[in-house]
A and B are shown apart, each in its own frame.
Chain A
Amino acid sequence: MDSLINLLDAFQIIFSNPYSLMYILIGVAAGIIVGCLPGLTATMGVALLVPFTFSLPPVQGLLLLLGIFTGGIYGGSISGILIRTPGTPAAAATLLDGYPLSQRGEAGKAIGIATIASFIGGSIGALIMSFLAPEIAQFGLRFGPPEFFALAIFGLTMIISISGVSLLKGAIAALFGLLLTTIGLDPLSGVARFSFGSDDLLGGITFIPALIGLFGFAQVFHNIEKMQIVPQVKSKVGKILPSLKEIRSLLPTMFKSGGMGAMTGSVPGLGADVAAFIAYAEAKRTAKKPEEFGKGALEGVAAPEAANNGATGGAMIPMLTLGIPGDAVTAVLLGALTIHGFQPGPLLFVNHLDIVYPIFAGMILCQLVLLIVGLAGARLFARLINIDTRILTAVIFLLCIVGSYSIRFSFFDVGLGLTIGVLAYFMGKAQFPVSPILLALILGPMAEQNMRRSLMLSRDDPTIFFTRPISAIFLFLAVFMAITSYIRFKQLRKIEQRVADDAAVENESNNG
């Protein structure tokens, strides 16, 4: 009850300053722009704006940053849906169905659903954060190395859900991604692996340029090839709001994914990107029509978007209560709070309720503002796709180059992005899915490092993975997910085969 009163007080504090809402609005709008530009991630957006908040009162400064965080995670989905280039890693799962939707001319609807899902997921995350932060934080601490390993293995089973037509090709892509993650300085042994003496490779395969290469550059090459042959898709901008019936049918997915996202985000080290993939795979596994996934299923947009915005609230929890950031963005926010004179940690809830509750209230308000700005802007964003492909492709190409450079101001990274882009383009030609590579890049280091760490802890006794309850549960879930997803996969192939056969028979009879 105390927390509810504190929360209401905080709303009052925020509303008592007329500029507060303005800062949220500016933050969310700026966040959306930062988020939808490839290479400018929510993390960078927040980091870039921290110095600007120095001159603001702490509450207003933080509202601005929270706005960017919220807007940035959401904004990544817009470019994912429109141009198949996720603006942030968290949106990489959204494009699997978002892009096919926009190719069908339903970009507006896809963005509309992404907006509503982000709002619902984000609100669930913000509410869980406001009322359950200390309890959730204690839960997050129960994750040690064996638990993280089991979770990563569980995550890797999602490859089955995102492999497309061939499981074998999906597995090959994932293994390739896992191999890439072994490049660079190994933090466990302090030894350089596969760097061939290059300082640039010592840093490993940088994630953002790889992401841009896999989707952005590859899409550019693909566009260039098709430019003169395939007529451009004209997006029906008119319908932004999905029908009430559609929204109602998506609500269970959104609520479930938002909750899953918040829980995932609250475990230190797991961010919005992992949350989105988990929710996507779960939605597909339990969907009534899984065969639509990958071809423009509405749930395929709703689930990851609800989850990644839910994860924003979740990630704030360990940062505020323990001083341990849940992901990269909250790490920057932790720095910002520190500079403003509030050291996040257990004492923050004792000494500085004056900042804790405005943060909670601010997070909730950010979701509302996001809904309004997102729906208002959706029409405008969807129109972008109607720009002549020849111009759009050139612009995307430029953005991809700038994006891969700017993450750490490195030309090496531009080359890296281009190389991976060429590779991804040919993989596309050979019908290899590229999403498993991305998933492997995210989960590979987590799986490898924590496996080794666990074995160090147990002194090479592998039973450590099965004797700890959380670890055992996730390993069991991994097996369960793998089996059920595989059965679904087989069923789907059968249905598709039958459809193809029927079509062939029909063709024959027509011809005959």
Chain B
Amino acid sequence: MASIEAKTGPMTHSRLPRRGLSRHARLALVWLALAAVPFVVPNAYWISLANLALINLVLIASLNLLMGYGGQISLAHAGFFGLGAYASGILNVRYGLPPWAGLPAAAVVAGLGALLIGIPALRLRGHYLAMATLGWNAILVVFFTQLVGLTGGPNGLLGVAPFSIFGHALDTEAKAFPLAWAVAFLVMLAISNLLASRIGRSIRAVATNELGAQSLGIDSFRTKLAVFVLSAGMAGIAGSLYVHINQYASPETFGIAPSIMLLVMVAIGGAGTFYGPMLGALIYTAVPQILLDYEDAELMLFGLGLLVVLILFPRGLAGIPAALAGLVRRRRA
């Protein structure tokens, strides 16, 4: 990915954190702006969409960490999302643990799920890795569906409690928003810090040239495994948010189709760009809602939109300014 950044030329450089605001201040500013969402939207339905968008952001940003920066393809991200959702939900429904205990547990369980498949699968590359993770997602869905005593089976997990603060339940969209907002901020902050750290540089080095990175003493397998487990853990956190905000989970939410959509959204937003996942999450959440009014044409329009973006802007929406700038430069030359 480092090579791509270099190629985008002067424009990208002017936007890098070195000039102007620090990367932390920039993120904080964006999140302060987001805090206004519940006050400017017309009704609770919109706030519920904002909550969903924040959960999707955690999912897409964590997948972007793995895909965009780490260069790995995972088609099991919705599966890890589900592992987190069911872990947190089952601990609450069957064992009476509060959602606050479920949140870290969800991250741990999803992380373990990734470790289990990551050790054998990350020795594979490209399409083979994609197939292995795809299979893992299919297996997880079978577990979610068949362990009826734990998961509630195909009818879903019922009676999940919402988060609560000092005995006050966060059971409406407006009350749940600050939580989703804060958790999404912490995840974005964690990703930002990770990328700026030594490990973050190893991740990018391994993605750019695995042999080269190894020759410099980076343990490429352990680096890949670490980023895979971290990214799954974040998906688990999204799962915990999802199950306690919706107070429900059912298997098909965590199937292969959503896994593929998440992958597409990383690409649409702009793989390997820090704010690209925000665009991806916005589109993933908003477009199906806008298209609801077009009934049967919905799926077709959605698919068409994806094709247009991916063909015209292979670097995603976040890459459009750069693509246009490049076009203009070529015209002038």
Q: Do A and B interact with each other, yes or no?
A: no
Footprint of A on B, CB under 8 Å? none
Chain A residues engaging chain B, CB cutoff 8 angstroms: none
